[in-house]
Structure 1
Amino acid sequence: MNIIKSSLALLVAASSSGVLASNLDAAQSIQSKTNSASASSQQRIDSSAETSLALKAEIEQLQEEVKNLEVYKNHLSALVTSQEQEMTSFRGQIEEIKQTRQGVVPLMYQMIDGLKAIVAEDAPIRLTQRQERIAKLDKMMVRADISDAEKYRRILEAYQIELDYGTKLGLYQGQIEVAGEKLETDILYLGRLSLVARSLNGSTFWSWDEAQNQWVSVDPSMKSELDKAFSIAAKQAAPSLITLPVSLTVAEAK
């Protein structure tokens, strides 16, 4: 009887051990699955967190770019406004230039005509050069490759040269006409007060007579004084007092 009870107890214990082992395996499997699920969930959480941080950083970067683009847009708007103002100003200046040019061009032609009148009425000082200078100015006026400013400058330069003829002592070689004969001479001028020609051999002198509008002979007694004047003009002698025949009319002398 005792033997049977012991056998039954062993059988029950063995059966219980099998059930416990099976339950333990199941529990371990569940725990393993749970751990695996937890790890996977953590990975998804970590991945989502990283993605969220990356998206947040990208959003912040885009917001900064939007802010910079807004600043740049405002900058461009200010530039456009400034350029429009400059264009308006330039248009006004162009209109002013057109109006100024319409007034300056006729003025330049009048100034050239004035030079022609001066040369025609003046003593024949460097006459050929002055006439050639005026002819060049006439040709210059119709040249498109020369600006109006440059044309005006050259006309003013011609006036300055004419002004210098009235204040300086000068000497040059040129032709004069005496009794219908053209003679090569040395010509001295002292402003517009005196204009004297000397033959190349230095023996004969003529003075321009404004009243008669022609060259007239000079008294040979003035040769010494005139030679001194020519030497001073040629810078071969030191400046000193000189005596020259006057080429002015009576009215001009007064």
Structure 2
Amino acid sequence: MNIMKSSLAFVAIGLSVNTAASTLDSARAIESQINQSAAQSQGRIDQSAEASLSMRAEIEALREEVKNLTVYRDHLARLVDSQEGEKSSLKEQIAGIQETRQGVVPLMYQMIDGLKTLIETDKPIKRDQRLARIAKLEFMMAQADISDAEKYRRILEAYQIEMDYGTKLGLYQGKVALSPSESIQADLLYLGRVAFVARSLDGQRYWAWNDSTSQWQALEANVGTDLDKAYAMASKQIAPGLISLPVSVNVEGQ
């Protein structure tokens, strides 16, 4: 009887040990699954965190891009406003140019006529050359391939040349009409528009232009020394100095 009880006790202990071992293995298996699940969950959490950080970075980049685009849009808007203002200003300037052109063209014709009148009433200093310049200006006014600005510049240039005739000492060769039937080639000297004299090519005879009669008047031989000095000075053979020249000599007065 005692032996049976002892056997039953061993069987019970064995079953208990087997049950405990099976329970331990189950617990270990569950623990392993829990650990695996926890690792997988942590991995998903880490991935979600990285994705969240990446999205935040993208959002910040997009915000910065939007900010830059807003600044650029405002900049373009200001440029457009400025261009519109310039367009309006240009339209006004173009309209003003048209009005100015309408006033400048008649003025240029008046300036040419004024030059022509001046030359025709002035001492006959290089008259043919000066009248030829006026003819070129008149022809130029009808040329469509020359701008109004260039036409105006050439007219001003002609005025400057005429002004130089009034201030400079000059010398050139040309014809002198001593009478309706007699013309000779002579050396012509002018000092501005104050004096205009002629000397024969042989240097023996002298004349002075008389503004009162618009004719050449013969000069006496005793003025030859002073006039020769003026000619030498005009041709730069001697240094500049004081010279004596007749001024609009009147025949009756002399």
Q: Counterparts in 2 of 1:145-184, with a 5 A limit?
A: 145-179=145-179, 180-184=181-185
TM-score for both structures, normalised by structure 1: 0.88
Letter in 2 for 1:36: Q
| Structure 2: 5+ residue stretches without partners | none
Q: 1:52 to 1:243 in 2, by over 3 A?
A: closer
C-alpha distance in structure 1 between counterparts of 2:118 and 2:205, whole Å = 29
Give the structure 1 partner of residue 216 of structure 2: 215
* Per-residue CA distance 1:172-222 (angstroms, 9 max, x = gap): 222233343443321011222321111222122222233443334332332
C-alpha distance in structure 2 between counterparts of 1:248 and 1:193, whole Å = 14
Give the structure 2 partner of residue 20 of structure 1: 20
Give the structure 2 partner of residue 230 of structure 1: 231
Q: In the alignment, is residue 114 of structure 1 matched against residue 108 of structure 2?
A: no
Work out whether residues 171 and 234 of structure 1, in 8 Å CA contact, stay in contact via their aligned partners in 2: yes
Work out whether residues 194 and 248 of structure 1, in 8 Å CA contact, stay in contact via their aligned partners in 2: no
* Per-residue CA distance 1:83-127 (angstroms, 9 max, x = gap): 111111111111111101110111011101111111111111011
Q: In the alignment, is residue 244 of structure 1 matched against residue 246 of structure 2?
A: yes
| Other structure's SS at 1:206 match | strand
Shift of the alpha carbon at 1:58? Answer: 1.1
Q: Counterparts in 2 of 1:37-52, with a 5 A limit?
A: 37-52=37-52
Work out whether residues 192 and 247 of structure 1, in 8 Å CA contact, stay in contact via their aligned partners in 2: no
* Per-residue CA distance 1:125-155 (angstroms, 9 max, x = gap): 0113212322332233334454333322322
TM-score for both structures, normalised by structure 2: 0.88
C-alpha distance in structure 1 between counterparts of 2:166 and 2:111, whole Å = 18
Identity in percent: 54
Letter in 2 for 1:12: A
Work out whether residues 211 and 249 of structure 1, in 8 Å CA contact, stay in contact via their aligned partners in 2: no
C-alpha distance in structure 2 between counterparts of 1:85 and 1:32, whole Å = 78
Give the structure 1 partner of residue 191 of structure 2: 190
